[in-house]
Structure 1
Amino acid sequence: MGLSTGCRRLDELLGGGVPDERSLLVSGPPGTGKTTLGMQFLQAGLDRGEECLFVSTEQTVGELEDTFEPYPFDLDADGLTVITVHCEPGDTMERDDDLVVRTLEGGDRAVTEWFDLPFTRENVVHYLSEYGPKDRILLDSLSGLRPIAADEVSFWRSTYDLIRLFSDTFDATSLLTAEDSDTGDSVASELLRYATHGVIELSSVERANQRHTFLRVEKLRGRDHDTRRHKLVLGEAGATVQPTQRTPPSDLLDHDHLSTGIDALDELLGGGLVRGGFTLLSHDGTTSYYTINAQMLATAVETGMALSVAIPAEVSLSQLDRYWTDTDWSVGDLLDADRLFVLELVASDGYDHRNVLRYDESADRGWEQLMEVSYDRSGDRPLFAFIDTEPLLEQIAPERAREVRYRAAASHTDDDDVVVYAVNPAIQNQSLVEFFADTSSQTIRIEREEDGIEWLTLRKSPTGSPGTSKVVAYDEEPPYVDLV
């Protein structure tokens, strides 16, 4: 798969380490641990008996020794060559004030002797070519080579030449660091990010007068990788990445799941919808989230559950039938078998059936009474309750919705039941939305951007991958939706 970075969790985020004979750019502000992360990558290779090259453009060997003094890194290892490349004014055949290539004061660990040469792309590449082949290379940092070119495009070409030298000529796997800043004049520009096979981005956050460093794998070509932000911790053992997982270990949990009928969504949720709990589905009013809902409902029926649904007026029962054309049953079949209970809270859907329960507070058919009927008529079957709060809040106050939600959970929801509420925070009572989010076992957010792309994000869950976002993709075949 690839070469280890020396940090197990980072290897996992990269989908199996650094791809062999490829390059990664590690960018970030000063002091975020770029050099330490790079040296840990080299040390992992040294521990395996590999040949490694450390090219420093900003620190002498003595300064590197001071930097790495707290860590278990060995700059004197037999398989490690440390060289320094620096740009400074000097004498060339043309002028006595040209920028020239020199080692930084303090010497280097290389045997090669060489003369002052103009600080050009060709000369730097020629100088470095004397140190191959290698298994791993750290170039720290590209910022020190910036004078090699007059403009950003030329500098990108110079960096690309170095990457080709390392990957194609040396057959090496390389890490290149670059200082990134908020000034806009960043060496780690989009061009450099394009030149490398992948990008690891470091950032800093201040909280309560303490500085925290975070790591994110921003890009990695051809590899399924984790793009979530993680804390980078620099300690005596080197660099570690936390959290190693975002939900408690499975042996500490006791959760049964109901499949959503969508494999990628089940994987994201850690198995599916939590039984005996409450899932909040948050949307922005522009998505086709009922395609996902219909698949959840169909899967619940297939597992032997009964359905109790409160859907908005624009989602008709005949529309559910269109989603269920590949099944052996229809809306009418489920109503007749006491497997489907429709809580009509606003307008009639045209169905005249004892299990189409029409809301009428004055006739003692309020929301709580309708839910009571659903639980009673479903008998011993587990119940899948899907409640869209849009029609609900047209009939009852948010305080009443909160009260009935508590009563239903305490009096009726069994360990095998599943409850899903759909909310649109943009148009609904904020305190009620926060109440639903706070009391939910899982919170899923679906939203559409201006270009039409729909995103599904798992905001909260006791299992699975909270914080992960996927693009929603629709299909003409069941289950009609996928996450990519």
Structure 2
Amino acid sequence: MGLSTGCERLDELLGGGVPDKRSLLVSGPPGTGKTTLGMQFLEAGLDAGEDCLFVSTEQTVDELEDTFEPYPFDLGHEGLTVITVHCEPGDTMERDDDLVVRTLEGGDRAVAEWFDLPFTRENVVHYLSEYGPKDRILLDSLSGLRPIAADEVSFWRSTYDLIRLFSDTFDATSLLTAEDGGTGDGVASDLLRYATHGVIELSSVERANQRHTFLRVGKLRGRDHDTRRHKLVLGADGATVQPTQRTPPSELLGHDHLSTGIDALDGLLGGGLVRGGFTLLSHDGTTGYYAINARMLASAIEAGMAAAVALPAEVSLSRLDRYWSDTDWTVEGLLDDDRLFVLELAESNGDDHRNVLTYDEEERDWRRLSECCYERSGDRPLFAFVDTEPLLEQVSRQRVRDVRYHAAAHHTDEDDIVVYTINPAVQDTSLVEFLVDTSRQTIRIERGDDGIEWLTLRKSPTGSPGTSTVVAYDETPPYVDLV
């Protein structure tokens, strides 16, 4: 798959380490750990018996030794070559005030002493070409080579030449670091990011007077990689990335799941909907979220559960049948078999079946739905789906809280599942917060200005909280997928 960075979790974020014979750019503000991360990459190669090259453009060897003093890195390892390339005023054969290539104190002495090489792209590439082939290369940093070119495009070309030298001539896998102040004042420009195969972005955040460094894989061509932000910790053993997982270990929780009917969503949730719990699906009113709900209902019925549904205003019973065109059942058949129970809160669908209830304030309100389901469905576990928007037009917010607690305390068994949908933009903030707080899982679906529909897992005891994916619809069942 690739070469290890020396950090197991970072290898996982990269989808299997650094791609072989490719280049990664590590960008970030000063002091965020770019050099340490790069040296750890080299150290992993040395431990595997590989030949490594460290090119420093800003520090002497003595300064590097001071930098790495807290870490278990060995600059004197027989498999490691350390050279310095520095741009400074000096004497060339043409002029006495040209910028020249010069090694820093303690670096390799390959440059002839009787004159300095002009600081050009060709001379830097020629100078470095003497040190191949290598298995791994760290160039720290590109910021020190910025005077090599007069403009950004020329600098991109120079960087590209170095990458080709490392990848094609040396057959090496390389890490290149660059300053990025987060305000456009660094050299890690969009052009430079384009030149490399992947980009690892470092950033820092101040919280309670403490500085925290974070890492994110911003780009990696041809790899299914994790794009979430993680904490970068620099300790006695080098760089580690936390958290290694964002939910407690499954053996501590013992959750049982029901498939949502959408494989990609099951993967995001860590197996599906958590049984015995309450899932909140939050939306912005512009999405086709009910296609996902219809898949969840179909999966529950396929698993032998009874379904209790409080329909949103725009969904009729006949529309449910259209969502279930690939199944062996119909709405009418499920009603007759006491496997489907419907509460119509907005308007009647014209069905006078005994399991189709309408809201009536005189008859103990919508709690009748779950009670009716438990009374008539036998021993089947319950899948309850409640759309809260029409509900809140009829029922007080306090009543919603009372019913939610009543259902949890008296009805919801370990095999049951309850799903609510809510649109925070049109509903009371305290109620939204209440439902988020009491949920086991919270899923957010929203549409951007460009029409792209996003699904984000915001809360879950399993799976990948914080992960977002794009919702895609199809003309054939199951009609919806995540990509």
Match of 1:308 in 2: 308
Q: Give matches, 1:40-439, under 5 Å.
A: 40-104=40-104, 106-109=105-108, 113=112, 115-362=115-362, 364-439=363-438
- Aligned-partner Cα distance in 2 for 1:145–1:286: 49
Could you tell me which runs of 5 or more consecutive residues in structure 1 were left unpaired when the two chains were aligned.
Answer: none
- Aligned-partner Cα distance in 2 for 1:320–1:4: 50
The amino acid that maps onto 1:264 is A
> Shift in Å at residue 365 of structure 1?
4.4
> Shift in Å at residue 93 of structure 1?
2.2
> Shift in Å at residue 171 of structure 1?
0.3
Contact 1:313 / 1:349 at 8 angstroms: preserved in 2? no
The one-character-per-residue Cα deviations of 1:215-260 (angstroms, maximum 9, x if unpaired) are 0001100001111111100000000000111111111012110000
Match of 1:16 in 2: 16
The one-character-per-residue Cα deviations of 1:53-100 (angstroms, maximum 9, x if unpaired) are 000000000000000000000000001010001101111222211111
- Aligned-partner Cα distance in 2 for 1:245–1:112: 49
Contact 1:13 / 1:226 at 8 angstroms: preserved in 2? yes
Match of 1:28 in 2: 28
**When the two structures are aligned, how many residues end up with a matched partner?**
482
- Aligned-partner Cα distance in 1 for 2:183–2:464: 34
> Shift in Å at residue 481 of structure 1?
1.3
- Aligned-partner Cα distance in 1 for 2:272–2:285: 23
Which secondary structure does the structure 2 equivalent of 1:164 belong to?
helix
Contact 1:460 / 1:466 at 8 angstroms: preserved in 2? yes
Match of 2:447 in 1: 448
The amino acid that maps onto 2:451 is G
> Shift in Å at residue 182 of structure 1?
2.9
Which secondary structure does the structure 1 equivalent of 2:481 belong to?
strand
- C-alpha change, 1:88 and 1:192, in structure 2 (3 Å) is same
- Aligned-partner Cα distance in 1 for 2:109–2:271: 55
Which secondary structure does the structure 1 equivalent of 2:309 belong to?
strand
Contact 2:325 / 2:477 at 8 angstroms: preserved in 1? no
TM-score scaled by structure 1?
0.98
> Shift in Å at residue 474 of structure 1?
1.3
> Shift in Å at residue 262 of structure 1?
0.6
Query: Mean alpha-carbon deviation: is it higher for 178-187 or for 64-73?
Result: 178-187
Which secondary structure does the structure 2 equivalent of 1:62 belong to?
helix
The one-character-per-residue Cα deviations of 1:405-458 (angstroms, maximum 9, x if unpaired) are 000111000111110000001111110110110110000011110111111111
Match of 1:483 in 2: 482
- Aligned-partner Cα distance in 1 for 2:258–2:452: 27
Could you tell me which runs of 5 or more consecutive residues in structure 2 were left unpaired when the two chains were aligned.
Answer: none
- Aligned-partner Cα distance in 2 for 1:206–1:10: 23
Contact 2:82 / 2:108 at 8 angstroms: preserved in 1? yes
Which secondary structure does the structure 2 equivalent of 1:30 belong to?
coil
> Shift in Å at residue 350 of structure 1?
1.9
TM-score scaled by structure 2?
0.98
The amino acid that maps onto 1:398 is R
- Aligned-partner Cα distance in 1 for 2:308–2:254: 26
- Aligned-partner Cα distance in 1 for 2:15–2:418: 35
Which secondary structure does the structure 2 equivalent of 1:394 belong to?
helix
Match of 1:465 in 2: 464
The one-character-per-residue Cα deviations of 1:11-62 (angstroms, maximum 9, x if unpaired) are 0100110000000000000000000000000000011110000000000000
The one-character-per-residue Cα deviations of 1:251-294 (angstroms, maximum 9, x if unpaired) are 10121100001111101101100000000000111111111100
The one-character-per-residue Cα deviations of 1:117-171 (angstroms, maximum 9, x if unpaired) are 1111111111000100000000000000000001111100100000000000000
Contact 2:266 / 2:272 at 8 angstroms: preserved in 1? yes
RMSD: 1.0
The amino acid that maps onto 1:299 is S
The amino acid that maps onto 2:447 is R
The amino acid that maps onto 1:470 is T
The amino acid that maps onto 1:447 is E
Percent identity of equivalent pairs:
84
Which secondary structure does the structure 1 equivalent of 2:426 belong to?
coil
